[in-house]
Copies of this chain bind each other. A is one copy, B any other.
Amino acid sequence: MIRPPYLLFLGDVQDQLAAKTAHGLKDWRPERCLAQLRLPGCKADVGLPEMSVEEAARAGCRTMIVAVANSGGWLAEHWVPTIVAALEAGMDVASGLHQRLVDIPIVAETARRLGRQLFDVRHPTQRFKTATGIKRSGKRLLTVGTDCSCGKKYTALAIERELLGRGRKATFRGTGQTGIMIAGSGVAIDAVVADFIAGAAEWLSPDNDPDHWDVIEGQGSLFHPAFAGVTLGLIHGSQPDAIVLCHEPTRRHMRGLPHRPLPGLKECLEANLAAARLTNPAVRAVGVSIDTHLLEPSRRAAYLAEVEEELGLPAVDPLVTGVGRIVDALP
């Protein structure tokens, strides 16, 4: 578990997109984010008080989060002194980069010497078991999608917030680096050894109260030729009672594959339900979440109405309409 409160380290990245994880943390867990630290030339800004490593430690920060992604997921060499300084000031350090903190000798040695924890959230260190398919107590909602990067994390977080706001029991479960940072724990499901995908997903949402909802961040798409295996294992291990289909309507092809069209919404939903029935025959679709921000604003309402008509399910844009109608539909 990554211990809050956090100092968000933004390095000297050149745009806001590179600070996606920082923005996610600030948006969804503001109560855990105390300050930001930016190196000279940094063009990202999440609007938190600026603090040095020492100031943040004195202010009570327990973890510095490397909350940015360089191209390729590499850690810039000139960031290392700040990471070492954070360890020396008394903080743990967490990173979502491909390159591991534990593989940087000075960082690993400093952490060991001072008894600090390093979190490389993209690199699972747990040992998982293979899945059993045995039903667990509590309820689970999984977001699925027509493609990668079409709102699955955002939708899950919005549903968790709506459930909690109604006084219901809910826990967001992160399966990618930003989601894990936001949740404070989780598993980078696409980094698990293939044999253990579904087993890791079973581990992620253990037995819980009968009226508790685990709201699980989906990954990939059953229709993405590179990542569908990850998606299927996550579906089987999650044993969802409810699925929400996520979609970005202006996308013309699968992410990264210009030759490959997106599936139809109905086809995609049916395939996900069929897959989910293997481990939970009672699974139901409860809604559709559309990321409409690239649509003409005048087209939004009509598009959502069309989807609702086609699929017979509440169709929302979490940012525009909220997810209340999806939560209304939960048992």
* A-to-B contact residues, CB < 8 Å: 130-134, 189-195, 197-199, 223, 225-234, 236-237, 256-257, 259-260, 271, 274-275, 278-279
CB-based contact B233/A228 at 8 Å? yes
How many Å lie between the Cα of A231 and that of B189 in the bound state?
16
B197 engages A229 (CB within 8 Å)? yes
- Contact pick for A225, options B226, B227, B230, B279, CB 8 Å: B279
Contact B193 A192 (CB under 8 A): yes
A174 to chain B, nearest CB (A): 16
What are 24 sample pairs from A and B whose C-beta atoms fall under 8 A apart?
A130-B256, A131-B225, A132-B225, A133-B225, A133-B226, A191-B195, A192-B193, A192-B194, A194-B229, A194-B233, A195-B230, A197-B230, A198-B225, A198-B226, A198-B227, A223-B278, A225-B279, A226-B236, A228-B232, A229-B229, A229-B231, A229-B233, A229-B234, A232-B232
Shortest Cβ gap from A196 to chain B (Å): 8
Closest chain B residue to A132 by CB distance?
Answer: B257
Cβ of A146 to closest chain B Cβ, rounded Å? 13
Contact between B133 and A260 (Cβ–Cβ < 8 Å)? yes
